[in-house]
Amino acid sequence: MNHRHMPRTCVALFALAATCMARGPATAQEAAHGDVGAPDKAALKKSHASAPPYSPYVGRNFPTRPYFGDTHLHTGFSFDAGAFGCRLSPRDAYRFAKGHEITTSTRQPAKLSRPLDFLVVADHSDNMGFFPDLFAGKPEVLADPTGRRWHDMIHAGKGADAAMEIIITFSQGTFPKDLMYLPGTAAYRSAWRETIAAAEEANDPGRFTAFIGFEWTSNTGGNNLHRNVIFRDNGDKASRVEPYTTQKPLGSDNPIDLWKWMTAYEEKTGGDVLAIAHNGNMSNGRMFPFVEAFGKKLDREYAETRAKWERLYEATQTKGDGETHPFLSPNDEFANFERWDKSNLDGSVPKTKDMLEFEYARSGLKLGLKLEATLGANPYKFGMIGSSDAHTGLSAMEEENFFGKTSPQEPSPERMTKAFFNNPKNGVTIMDWEVSSSGYAAVWATENTREALFDAMERRETYATTGPRMIVRFFGGWDFEPKDAGSRMPAAVGYAKGVPMGGDLRDAPEGRSPTFLVAALKDPIGANLDRIQIIKGWLDAAGDVHEKVYDVAWGDADRRQPGADGRLPPVGSTVDVKNAVWANTIGDPELIAVWKDPEFDAGQRAFYYARVIEIPTPRWTAYDAKRFGIEPLPETTMTLQERAYSSPIWYTPGA
C-alpha cells in the first residue's frame, strides 16, 4: 500500500497559490547607474515563447471547487408536506438556502451556518398545489367528504395524522379521484407556474443556482420508487410542459414511462433533463431489479435507457443512509450507519432480509456489474449524491442546526421521544430520533450555473455528504505514483494522468494495475478526518460479485497503524455527549494518498469509490438533549461519524 499523510495543518489542499513580490520595470535612472541591466527584447521574446507560463493556473479548465446543495426539498406545495404543517413556499425555500434568516412553519427563526450554492425545490408532481387549496377550504375541495375531513383534522391540530392518512391513501391507490390535482387543470398549471417563477427569481448565475424540478412519486403499495427530475433549462422551456405524474391515463408509476416523458420533453423543447432515484431503503427490494421490473424481463434496452436518464443516485438523506447495510457488508465495520430498514414507505409491509440486496447503493453497483456481463449494458452505473428530502422548506442538514424532516419534527422538547410513524397492525415503528440530519450533494463544476452544475451531474463528477462540507477528490488511472500524493495541486495531476470520480477505465495495459489518487480536506468549521477508504466491488470469472474495503489514508498515523489482522484501530472519541461538544485533537484536517489495487485481475469488471469518514461528533439528538434538558430514550443514538461517498470509477475489460 502506498500512502502519505500530510502535515496536521489546515492548508488549502486544492488551490494553494504562492504569494510573490513582483518588481516593476526598471526606471531610466536605474538603468543608467547599472542597477538593472537593459533587457534584450529579442532574448526575452524567445524565452517566453518556449517556456511554460510562470503561473501554474494559466489555462486551467477543470473544476477547482465543489458546489454544495440539495436536489430534494419539499415545500407547502407538496400535498404531504403541507398536511404535516409546512407553510413555506418555494420562494421561502430559496431564500433560506441563499443564507437569509426566515421564520419556519412552527414560528421559529432559522438560518444556515453558510449559504448553499444551489437548490432544487422538488415538490411532488402528484397533487402539486393541492394542499394550499385544502388548507384554505376551497369549496370544490370541501365538497368531497374526505377533503372536508382532512381539512377539519388539519385545523384541529391533527395535521400529522392527516398527512399519514393522505400518504397511505395515495400509496394504496385509494386517494379520492375528485380531489386529485392533475396536469391540464387550472389549479395544477398555476402551481407549476409558481414553482418555475420562484426558481427564475432566485437563480443568480455565478452566485446561486435555483434549478427547476419536481419529484415523480411512484409509490404503489407503499414501495418507494420516487425520482427527482431536474431541468438544465430556464423557465422558457420548462414551462412548455407540466410535470409527469403517476396517475393513469396521463401518468404512470413505471419508471420506463417517466423516461419516455423525459425523451418527449427533450424532443419537444431541445432541452435537457435528468432523474435522480430516491434512496431505495424503503422500496422493499424494488429499486434495483435484477430479473424483471413491472412484470417485464430486464433487457439491454432497459439497461441502456436507465443508465442514460438516471446518472445519479441519492445515497443518503433524512430517511436513513443508503450506501450499504451490515447484512450485505458484514466485514465493513462502518456499515451500521443511520439505518432505516424496517419497512416500506408507509409502514404497510415489514422489511425482510431478502429485499436488502436490491435497495442499497453498493449492492446496486454490484448488481450492475452482473447485468452488464449478461445484457451488455449496466443499468446501475450511477454517481453518488446526498440530499435532504426535508418536507419543511428548509435544507437544514447540520447536526447542531437540524430542523427535521417534517414540520412536527422542527426543534422541540418532544421530538426526541415521539414516533415518526407507528403501524399497530404489524408493529412497524420509526421514532423521530431515528430521522437523520442528512445530507447534501457536492458537485465538481466549472462555475455555479444551471448549465455547469447540470453537466457535472451528467458526467457523475459528484459526491454525497451526510451534512459536512468536506472537500473530496478521487482520480483513477494507470500512472499515479506515490510522489503524486505530495502535490499541493492534486487535481492538476489527477486530470492529467487519469479520470475523475464518475469516470471509466478500460482495457488495462499489459501487466498494469489501476492506481488511484484520493484526497480529502475537512469542512472548515467541522471535524477532523478519521480515514479515507476505497471500496472495491468486482465480478469474478464464475459470475459472482465481491466487495472489499481498503483503508488507504488515516489520521494520527504516528500512533496508529493496521494490526496483524490488517484492521486499522479506531480513531477514538473526544465527544462529551452530556454537553454536546467535541475536540479536534484526534484525526487529521487533510489526508491524501496514492493507492494501487493489490488484487487486480484485468479480466474482471470492477468499480471503486472513496469513502471519507470524520472523527466522532455529537449527533443532533445530543444537541437537543443538551438544549432542552431532555433525557433521551435508552436506545437513542447520540454520536456519529459523518462521511462522504464519492461517485465510483469503473473498470471494464476489453471484449
Using CA atoms, how far apart are residues 537 and 337, in angstroms rounded to an integer? 20
Using CA atoms, how far apart are residues 81 and 397, in angstroms rounded to an integer? 17
Residue 556 contacts residue 528 (beta carbons within 8 Å): no
Residue 116 contacts residue 69 (beta carbons within 8 Å): yes
Q: Has residue 642 got a pLDDT over 70?
A: yes
Q: What is the pLDDT of residue 177?
A: 86
Nearest to 224 by CA among 320, 81, 112, 346: 346
DSSP-assigned letter for residue 221? G
Using CA atoms, how far apart are residues 635 and 293, in angstroms rounded to an integer? 38
Chain position carrying cell 417534517: 406
Look up residue 202 and give its amino acid.
A
DSSP-assigned letter for residue 350? B
Using CA atoms, how far apart are residues 527 and 510, in angstroms rounded to an integer? 42
Nearest to 166 by CA among 124, 216, 120: 124
Which H/E stretch holds residue 193?
helix 186-202
Nearest to 375 by CA among 306, 287, 458: 306
Using CA atoms, how far apart are residues 256 and 261, in angstroms rounded to an integer? 9
Tens-digit pLDDT profile for residues 576-622:
999 999 999 999 999 999 999 999 999 999 999 999 999 999 999 99
Grid cell locating 171: 400509496
Using CA atoms, how far apart are residues 135 and 83, in angstroms rounded to an integer? 8
Per-residue pLDDT band at 28 (split at 50, 70, 90): very low
Chain position carrying cell 430514550: 633
Parallel, antiparallel, or unpaired for β 428-431 and 440-445?
unpaired
Range picked from 57-61, 143-147, 182-186, 552-556 for highest mean pLDDT: 552-556
Mean pLDDT in the chain? 92
Parallel, antiparallel, or unpaired for β 65-73 and 118-121?
parallel
Which residues make beta-bridge pairs with 384? 313
Tens-digit pLDDT profile for residues 543-564:
999 999 999 999 999 999 999 9
DSSP calls for 381-409: --EEEE---BBSS---EETTEE--SBGGG
Using CA atoms, how far apart are residues 195 and 77, in angstroms rounded to an integer? 9
Q: For the chain, first and last CA: distance in Å?
A: 30
Per-residue pLDDT band at 286 (split at 50, 70, 90): very high
Grid cell locating 41: 527584447
The alpha helices in 65-185, defined as continuous H runs, are 79-84, 90-97, 130-136, 139-142, 145-155, 159-171
DSSP-assigned letter for residue 460? T
Chain position carrying cell 442546526: 401
Q: What is the pLDDT of residue 176?
A: 87
Nearest to 465 by CA among 607, 646, 336: 646
Give pTM, 2 decimals.
0.91
pLDDT > 90 in the chain, percent: 80
Residue 256 contacts residue 308 (beta carbons within 8 Å): no
Nearest to 475 by CA among 501, 508, 443: 501
Using CA atoms, how far apart are residues 215 and 245, in angstroms rounded to an integer? 9
Residue 578 contacts residue 623 (beta carbons within 8 Å): no
Per-residue pLDDT band at 239 (split at 50, 70, 90): very high
As a whole number, mean pLDDT of residues 102-121 equals 98
Ramachandran region of residue 482, left (φ > 0), alpha (ψ -120 to 50) or beta? Answer: alpha
Tens-digit pLDDT profile for residues 311-358:
999 999 999 999 999 999 999 999 999 999 999 998 899 999 999 999
DSSP-assigned letter for residue 346? T
Grid cell locating 46: 524567445
Judged by DSSP in three states, 130 sits in helix
Using CA atoms, how far apart are residues 342 and 518, in angstroms rounded to an integer? 35
Grid cell locating 327: 447484512
As a whole number, mean pLDDT of residues 370-394 equals 98
Grid cell locating 216: 415523480
Q: Where are the beta strands (DSSP E) in 327-399?
A: 383-386, 397-398
Is the peptide bond preceding residue 63 cis, with omega within 30 degrees of 0? no
For residues 116, 122, 128, 133, the Cα torsion angle rounded to the nearest 10 degrees is: -20
What is the sign, positive or negative, of the torsion defined by CA atoms of 155, 156, 162, 163?
Answer: positive
